[in-house]
Amino acid sequence: MKRVVVTGLGVISPLGNTVGEFWKNIVNGKSGAATITKMDVSKFKTQFGCEVKDFNPEAYIEKKELKKFDLHTQYAIAASDDAIKDAGLDFSTIDVSERHDMGVIWATGNGGMGTFEDQLLEFHASGGVPRFSPFFIPKMIVDIAAGVISIRHKLHGPNYCTVSACASSNTAVISAFDTIRLGKAKLMVAGGSEAAIIYSALGGFGAAQALSKRNDSPETASRPFDKDRDGFVMGEGAAALILEDLEYAVARGAKIYAEIVGGGMAADAYHLTGTPPDGMGAALGMNKALKEAGISADKIDYVNAHATSTGLGDMSELNGMKQVFGDHPVAISATKSMTGHLLGAAGAIESIVSVMAVKEDIIPGTINTVNLDEHVPEGMNIILGESIRKTVNYALNNTFGFGGHTATSIFKKYTE
């Protein structure tokens, strides 16, 4: 099997549109939540979210081309362009035969849902006159961001979209890892994007009683593991990672952030939207990732928890961790307390957090959580408040999605 390393990162997020700004705000415990500005939400029970701020798509895409791309694809283009640049890659200088072994696996939970909503509202407003845009279908379909990234950089290797709800982009990262280590590619662009702060998503998740309603204090609304939590906070954005065959990365003199050594995917097989209280599926995915990495649970220094700030989900994950880690006091934090929940892009943005934790030996804190739920299993080492400095040789990243999907990736400090 090939060894696989991370050589480039890119992010468009509620906490900044560069990796440096994003990581600084994560380490400093800044919340990205505020009242929603992109649409009128005065009639909604939840009126806030974690919006991307100061995003300029024309820095990446010609103005005349913007109409071809849904916002989630615009985010994907920006994050992947930045990750490619960060990795020191210029694909135009790489022979096409090499690019046959370079591909894209990109995730989204909802794809061009905003485009779909806009077109149907326009159709209704017109009295049923079918004036649909010729770009409607390619803007909407979930695979299009993967295709656009591939076309943009002329990458002819494996190219597809992973959709497993909120586990989607961790699944993409794991799939890219598998593709390279099996020798089917030597470089992959992996990640995910989401632009679901729209009427239908806000209304749908609200109707499901999944969203926090703390309109008076958005910045404190996402509070994982807290006994007073009342739901998750919707987020948006994109995150990209460049994964490479170690030999190829070393040969071209790439900087290496970390090595990815394990990926475990499983299913709760339990409920449409809920997770089993005992955390069976979560534990199964984590154990599969550990087995693939060839390490025992006590080697893990940090877990970036899925922890969306919902009662059943938070406890299910912690119960799963208790099965896996036992009395090992692994440091746990929930960065969704700052970013909100980026849905299909959550796993990728939290992969970046995990990679940076390994690289910088910093474990971000969990903000807003002041009164731990009394059902938190005994001995759980949840990092609350400020970030801490600690050697992180291995970081584990958990993501779970509606439909019972679980995905766990493991990143390791790179050694030659």
CA 414 to chain centre: 22
Residue carrying structure tokens 């103005």: 63
Backbone angles phi, psi at 36, to 5 degrees: -65, 135
Catalytic residue status for 50: no
Type of residue found at 362: I
Backbone angles phi, psi at 291, to 5 degrees: -60, -45
Contact 242, 83 (CB under 8 A): yes
Cα end-to-end span (Å), the chain: 16
Pick the closest to residue 53 from 260, 191, 197 (CA basis). Answer: 197
Instruction: Find all residues with CB under 8 Å of 217, minimum gap 6, and list them.
Output: none
Catalytic residue among 166, 241, 282, 305: 166
Type of residue found at 319: N
Active site residues per annotation: 166
